[in-house]
Structure 1
Amino acid sequence: MKKITEIRAEDRPREKIGRLGVKNLKNQELIAAIIGRGIPGRDVNRIASDIEKMLDDKKGYICYDDLLCVGGVGEAKAAQIVASFELVRRYFPETEECIKISRPEDVLPLVNDLKYKKQEHFVCISVNGAGEMIEKRTITVGILNHSPVHPREVFSDAITDRAASVIFVHNHPSGNPEPSMQDIEITKRLNEAGEILGITVSDHVIVAKKGYVSLKGRGFF
C-alpha cells in the first residue's frame, strides 16, 4: 500500500474529489479524505484501510468507541467520522437500491437476455468507485471479429459517467462461452486503452446458453 506522500498530488483523495467527483473514489479514499492525515508511524492510507475493514466486518455499524480502537484514530478523527455518518443518515435516507458488482456472478442477472440473442451484442457496464453500476449500454451489435470494438466508442460514455471502472459483456449465439482469439485480443487492447485513460477494466464476461466465462478469471489480462 502506497503512503499518501507517494501518490501524485492530483490523485490524493481530497484533490481527486475536486477533479473527478466524490462518487469516483473508493471507500478507503473517502475515509482518508475525511480524516485528512495520519500520525507518525501510521500513514493516513493505513488508518483508512483499517477503518474500511472494520466497516466491512461490522456491516457499516460502527460507533465512536469502535473507532478509538483503530491505531492512529483519536477522539477528533473518531468524531469526524461518526458525524459524517450521522449527517448522511439525516439528509440522505436510502431511497433506491444500488446495484453492486464485485464478481462475475453479479453481472449475469443484468445481461440474462443476451444468452438468447442471435447476434453478438457487446455491452459496457460503467461502475463507480463504490462498485455500484452507473449505466449499462450496448456498444455494438454484430460479429466481433467482423465489427471490431473500438476503444473510442467503448470508453466515450464511461468518461462522461466519470466511471472508476468498466465491465464488458458479450454473448456467443453458438451457445459455447469459450473465448476466441479475437475476444482475447480485443480485451487486451481495451484493457491497455483503459490504463491510459485511468479507467480500470474489471472484467470481460462472455455469456451463452451453456454458461459463462470470465476472461479476468482465466488470467487473459
Structure 2
Amino acid sequence: MKYSSNHADSSTIIKEMPVEDRPREKMMTRGATSLSDRELVMILLGSGSRKRPVCTLANDLLEILDRTDNPSMETLLTIKGMGQAKAAVICAAWELGRRKPPKRRIFIQSPPDVYPLIRHYADRTREHFICVALNGAHEVISVDVVSIGLVNRTLVHPREVFALPMKNRAVAVIVAHNHPSGNLTPSPEDLDVTHRLKIAGDVVGINVLDHLIFSEESFYSLLEGGEF
C-alpha cells in the first residue's frame, strides 16, 4: 500500500485543489511549518502564467534554488513563465532570509565582525537601536531591535536593552544604531546612552563591549574611537 499524498502534482491548478489543501489556506489553518518548500514557493509566486500553472513554476524555481546560494534576477528570469515581478519577490524573500543570523556559530572578535549582522538596518528612515548578545566565548546568541526612533533617554532604556540578553544568559552585549543621515559622528545623546548602558550592565553583570553607529557604507566604533 502506498501512502496517499494531498500535494498537488506539477500540472495542478490551485483552483482545482481542495480548499483545505491550497497553500495559503493551509498556512492559515496549520501554520507555515506545515507547508512543503514547494507550497511556500507557491505562496510567494501567487499565481502561474497563462500556459504554466503555479505548481510547475514552483518546481522549476526550487530546482534553481537547490543549486545556488544567491539566486539572481537574471537566473530566475530564465524560467519560462517567470516575470520580473515574481522574480523580484523571490529575490527579496531570499535576501530577507539571508540577513537573519545563520545557524552556524558566529564569534565576535572586533567591530568589523558585528557590521554584517546589522548593516541591513542602515536603509531605515528612522534610527533602529540594536542589541547583539554574546555568550562567554563571544559567540552571537541573538540580534534584536530594541527600539525604533531617536536615540534618547525615553526610547532607549536599559531595562529594554538587557531584557533578552538576561533571559538568554548572555555575558556581554554590543549595541548599535543607524544614522539615517549617514553622518557617523556620535552625538552627545549617543555618548550619554552608552554611558548609562555601561553602568546598568555592570549592575546586572552583562558587559557592554562597544557601541557602533553605522550607515550603508561604513560604521563607527565608540570603542575604537576612544569614546567608550
Q: Which range, TM-score by smaller chain?
A: 0.5 to 0.7
Asked if 1:128 corresponds to 2:124, the answer is no
The counterpart of 1:114, out of the listed 91, 112, 121, is 121
Question: Paired residue for 2:21?
Answer: none
The within-5 A match list for 1:154-165 is 154-165=161-172
Name 2:216's counterpart in structure 1.
209
Larger radius of gyration: 2
Structure 1 residues not aligned, in runs of 5+? 1-95
- Find the aligned partners of 1:195 and 1:146 in 2 and give their Cα distance: 18
Q: Check if 1:180 corresponds to 2:195.
A: no
Cα distance between partner residues in 2 of 1:209 and 1:128 = 27
SS in 1 for 2:164: helix
Instruction: Indicate conservation of the 8 Å contact 1:176/1:211, yes or no.
Output: no
What amino acid sits opposite 1:98 in the alignment? R
Work out the number of aligned pairs and report it: 126
Distance apart, 1:146 and its partner CA? 7.3
Q: TM-score, normalised by structure 1?
A: 0.55
Distance 2:132 2:177 in 1: 11
The TM-score, its normalising length taken from structure 2, stands at 0.53
Structure 2: 5+ residue runs without aligned partners? 1-102
**Residue of 175, 178, 203 corresponding to 1:196:** 203
Partner of 1:138: 145
**SS of residue matched to 1:177:** coil
* Identity fraction in percent: 43
The answer to whether the aligner puts 1:153 opposite 2:169 as a matched pair is no
Greater helix share, structure number: 1
For the 8 Å contact 1:176–1:210, the answer to whether it is kept is no
Q: Structure 2 counterpart of 1:119, which letter?
A: R
Q: Shift of residue 210 of structure 1?
A: 4.5
Over 6 Å off, 4+ runs? none
